[in-house]
Amino acid sequence: MQRIAIYPGSFDPVTNGHVDIAQRGLRLFDKIIVAILSNPVKDFLFTVEERIEMLVSSFEEYPNIEVGTFDGLLVDYAAKKDSIAILRGMRAVSDFEYEFRMGLANHRLAPDIETVSLITNEDHSFLSSSTVREIASLGGDVSSMVPPHVESALKERFAELGDGQQIVPTTSMRD
């Protein structure tokens, strides 16, 4: 039986930190499904379709990393995909409380699905999508933080939004 894990998140946009977690997940699982929650209440810089495209390009050399979307409960999606685990990344202590609560809640809902949190690669420990969005919105260099195609997409999006656009959409209170 294939050992499948779901790696859920907003990925607005995908960063090198996300890519690292998914790739390392492949050491533990046969297949990783990177999954975007598709009916959020939050504002995003990129649409779901754009985020899917960026994820697919990031993992094109990894046939065992798939990209998907879900709405509703994560554990329902995980069960539908025959997953045995939910994969998450852990950066700092600040991540812990949220991850801990979510892990416990998901365990209550679906005791057979384990949450596996991988500790960030120290090179990416400060990296979050919101940091990347903020730097890119101010014209800073994000080339060491995201894949090249994401860097281009950020440049394009902030050019479209125009000069003087100081609004940096936030995707997550924690992020």
Q: Which of 5, 33, 45, 127 binds ligand ADP (CB under 6 A)?
A: 127
Residue 125 or 159 having the CB closest to ligand ADP: 125
Determine, following the binding rule CB under 6 A, whether residue 9 of this chain makes contact with ligand ADP.
yes
Phi, psi of 45 (to 5 degrees): -75, -40
Sheet holding 4-9, edge to edge: 65-70, 31-37, 4-9, 85-90, 114-119
Q: Which of 4, 5, 6, 18 binds ligand ADP (CB under 6 A)?
A: 18
Sign of CA pseudo-dihedral 42, 84, 82, 58:
positive
Residue 48 or 163 having the CB closest to ligand ADP: 48
**In angstroms, rounded to a whole number, what is the distance separating the alpha carbons of residues 68 and 34?**
6
Q: How many residues bind ligand ADP (CB under 6 A)?
A: 19
Quickly count helices (H) and strands (E) in the chain. Answer: 6, 5
**In angstroms, rounded to a whole number, what is the distance separating the alpha carbons of residues 150 and 4?**
26
Residue 74 or 164 having the CB closest to ligand ADP: 74
Q: Which of 75, 95, 113, 142 binds ligand ADP (CB under 6 A)?
A: 95
Binding site for ligand ADP (CB under 6 A): 9-11, 15, 17-18, 21, 88-89, 91, 95, 120, 124, 127-129, 171-172, 175
